[in-house]
Structure 1
C-alpha cells in the first residue's frame, strides 16, 4: 500500500490462492482483516491467475490484475486500482512489484503462518499437514521441461505424494500412493519420499533408487507397501526411463491427444520386492518435443458417482483431450482436471487423487 503512489495507484492488494485453487483470498493489511475472496472461475482476477497474463478491468476505477508467478508456480494475483486507465508506467511498475511480492511470499511462507492460515478454508488434518509440508511446489518450469501436479482432498490427503528434482539435463520425478489412509499412510508416504530423495542425492541410478526405497519401507514395517512411478527424463535427448511399481501406467500425450498407455506395472509395489526374484524392468520411451507424460494415482480413475459409476480411464482421456485443446498453461489444465474429478464425485472423494504431468519442451540445442 505504501508503494501505491509510486504506481499512480489508489490501492495495491495481494491475493493468494487457497489450497483448493478455487478462491483468491486477500491478505490482511496491518491490523485490518482481509476483504472478500474472489472466485478463480468466473472473475477477471481468476482469469489473470489461470492464464498467467495481466488482465485490466474497467468501471468506476480501473483495476489491473497481475499474476504472482514464480516460474510457473502460481501463488495468486496482485490488484492495482487506479482512478484512470492504467498508464504504461503503472503497468510496468505493477509487474515489477508483483515479481518482488512473489519472491517475498516464497521466502516468508516457511517462517510465518499468516499465508497458510489465509489459504485454508477449513481445518487441515494432521496427515495432510505432514504431506503438504514435504511436497515441492505444485508447478515448476525451465526452458526444457514443465512439471505440474495436483493433490486432493487437499485438507485430508493421506498417502498420495509426488516429488521431482532437476540436476543438469536430468529431471527425476516420482508419484507415490501409500497403502492405507490417514496419518499412517501419510507417514509411510513421507518415508517413501525421504528414501527417494536420499537415494537420488546419493547418486544412485533409477533401479538402485527404487531398491533403496523398497528396502527402507520393508525395514520400517513388514507388509506395508507403496505403489509408485519412478522416472527419469533426459532433457537433452527426450529419453524417458520408468519403473512402474504396482501403479497405474502413465499416459503419453502428443499433439493434444493420448497416443499410448505406457507398459506397466514393471515391478511389485515398493516394500514387497522380497516376494520376487525378478529385477525391476525399466521401460524406455523416446519422447518428441512437446510430448506430455501423465502419472496419476488410482483415486483419479476410481472416483465414483452415487450410482457407483467410475470416472474411468476413458473419461480421463476425454477430459485431457478437451482441456489441452484450450491451450492453457499446464498448471491450469491440472487444476481443472482435479476439479472435474471432484465434481464427478460431488466433492466427496473416496480415496486420494493425485496426478503429475511432465512436458518435454525441446532439446537444449534446438
Structure 2
C-alpha cells in the first residue's frame, strides 16, 4: 500500500482515480490546484505524486512547474512523479520528461496499466520518512503514559502539550459542558487561553463533537479537530496543529491524531475522580447536592458494542433530582433501567439512588427482572416509606436478548417506550405494567415481552420529557418527541447526538426553568448505529481523507 498525492482538477476523473487507487489498497491525498499540489508534496511524505501536467495554478504555476520545483528540493528530488494527460504528442511527453517526471500516461488509460505503472514507480522510489514521524510520535506517547502513573488531573493538558511540542505539534483539549452546548479548553500555563467553542452545525469543533468525525480547518490548513472519546463516551474534542500545510488533510496525520485523542480520553477518564479540575471544566454553573449525588451514581452517557448503540441523557444537568438510568451488557444480554423518582431535590435523589442500587445489587446477585423490582420495592419502603416522607419511583426495567431480539420488561409507571424501524414509528411497548417502585404490589410480577428486528430503535423516556410545559401551557407531547426522533434517524445521527438534540428541543419548548426532571435512554440494535458512535472518516462519503479545498 502506497501513499499517493493526486493532483487533478477535473472532478469526474478525480473521483474515478480515487476509487481505483483506493480499491487497489493505496492511501490517497487530494489537491485540486497546482499550488495545493506543490504545498502538499513538500509537506509530505508521499510515495508517489500523480498529477495532470496542465493543473491550473496561480502566477503561471502548472503541473510541469510543480514537477520542476519538487526536483529542486532535496527532500523531494527523488520522489516518484507520474503525469496523466489527454495530450499525447511527443512534444508533451518530452516536456514532462524535461521537467523531471518519471512516467507519462495518456488519457483515456487502461486501469490495469495505470496500476501496474504506479506499482513500478512506488517500488522504485525511496521509502518515505513516515517511520521517523511515527517513531517520534511513539516517544511522545511513551512520555505521556510514563508520566500518567503519578499524574494529577490538572497535569493532563500540560503534559500532552510538552510531549507534542517536541514534534512541532500543538494540541488543546476542549471538554464538553454537561448541557452539551459549549466546549471549554483546559488551561496550560504559559499558553494563551483558548475561547470556548459553541456546539452547532456552523462550528468545526461542534461538528467534530456532534458527528464523531475529524474536521480539518479549511482556513488553517494545519489545524484538525478530532473527537475525544473514551470508548464511545464523548468527552469533547482536541484541536491539533500538525506540521506542514497539508497535514490536516493527510490520512496518516489524521490517524496519528485520532490515536493521540484516544489515549488522552482514556487518561482523562482515569484522572476524572482524582481531582476536581476536570469536573469543574465541564460545568458552567454549580451543581446542587442532589445532582452531585445522582451523577456519581450513573454510568457513562454512551456505551456502544458490536451489536448495539446505547445512549442516555438526563436534564436539568445541574439540578437533577431522582432521574437516573443504568445498563449492563454481557454476552448476549443487555440490561436496561430508566428511573424517575417522584418529586425533586435531595429527597428524590436519595430515592432514585436507593432504587438504582437495589436493582444493581439484585441483578449482580443473579436476580432476573422480578427479583430486581422486588428488591427496589423493599429498600424504598424501608428507607423512604415513612408517612411524611414516602417516596416512590417510576421505572422501566428491561432485559434484551441480542441474538433473538426478545425484550422482556417491567413497566413500573413509566411512559410507554417507543419503537422505530427505518425512521418510521413502529409502535409503543405495552404490557408488563405494575405500580411504581416503592409501592407494595399484590400478586405475581407480570413481565411483558416484545420481539425487535435488527435495526430497530427503542426510546425510553420519563414523564418529564413529554410533560415539559411551555409558557403558554402547551405540552411537549409524545407526538413531537417521536417526530423529532424519526428526523434524527433519517439523518443517521449517532445515538448520543440524537438524544442531545431531543433534550435541546425539550428545553427550547419549555423556555424557562424546568418544573421537573427528564431522562431518556435510546437503544439501537444495529452494528451500523454502533459504528456511528466511534471516530469515522472526515466526511460520510469518504473512505480515507478529506479533499483539501483549492
TM over 0.5: yes
The answer to whether the 8 A contact 1:248-1:264 is kept is no
Instruction: Give the drift of 1:71.
Output: 2.9
Instruction: Give the drift of 1:2.
Output: 2.1
Instruction: Give the drift of 1:347.
Output: 4.7
Counterpart in 2 of 1:317?
482
Give the secondary-structure state (helix, strand or coil) at the position aligned to 1:299.
helix
Q: Deviations over 1:279-312 (max 9, x none)?
A: 2211111110011111101000011111100000
1:85 maps to which of 246, 251, 261: 246
Long gaps (5+) in structure 1: none
Counterpart in 1 of 2:293?
130
Counterpart in 1 of 2:140?
none
Counterpart in 1 of 2:401?
234
Counterpart in 1 of 2:184?
25
Q: Deviations over 1:133-182 (max 9, x none)?
A: 11000000000121110111100000100011112211111001111110
Whole-angstrom CA distance in 1 between matches of 2:398 and 2:522: 12
Instruction: Give the drift of 1:264.
Output: 4.5
Return the structure number with greater relative CO, CA threshold 8 A, min gap 6: 1
Whole-angstrom CA distance in 2 between matches of 1:313 and 1:117: 35
The answer to whether the 8 A contact 1:304-1:345 is kept is yes
Instruction: Give the drift of 1:35.
Output: 2.0
Change (3 A) 1:184 1:92: same
Whole-angstrom CA distance in 2 between matches of 1:7 and 1:80: 12
Counterpart in 1 of 2:117?
none
The answer to whether the 8 A contact 1:109-1:116 is kept is yes
Counterpart in 2 of 1:344?
509
Counterpart in 2 of 1:37?
196
Q: Any residues of structure 2 matched to 1:101-180 within 5 Å, and which? A: 101-180=264-343
Instruction: Give the drift of 1:7.
Output: 5.0
The answer to whether the 8 A contact 2:409-2:432 is kept is no
Q: Deviations over 1:29-54 (max 9, x none)?
A: 14668421100113101101111111
Larger radius of gyration: 2
Whole-angstrom CA distance in 1 between matches of 2:411 and 2:502: 22
Give the secondary-structure state (helix, strand or coil) at the position aligned to 2:433.
coil
More helix, by proportion: 2
Q: Deviations over 1:54-90 (max 9, x none)?
A: 1100225531001111332111111112461214443
Whole-angstrom CA distance in 2 between matches of 1:168 and 1:61: 45
Counterpart in 2 of 1:294?
459
Instruction: Give the drift of 1:249.
Output: 1.1
1:358 maps to which of 515, 523, 535: 523
The answer to whether the 8 A contact 1:247-1:265 is kept is no
TM-score normalized with structure 2 length: 0.63
Q: Deviations over 1:78-135 (max 9, x none)?
A: 1112461214443222111111101101111011111111100011111001111110
Whole-angstrom CA distance in 1 between matches of 2:365 and 2:432: 26
Whole-angstrom CA distance in 2 between matches of 1:132 and 1:93: 33
Change (3 A) 1:47 1:246: same
Q: 4+ residue runs of structure 1 moved beyond 6 angstroms?
A: none
TM-score normalized with structure 1 length: 0.94
Whole-angstrom CA distance in 2 between matches of 1:246 and 1:357: 19
Cα RMSD (Å): 1.6
Instruction: Give the drift of 1:233.
Output: 0.5
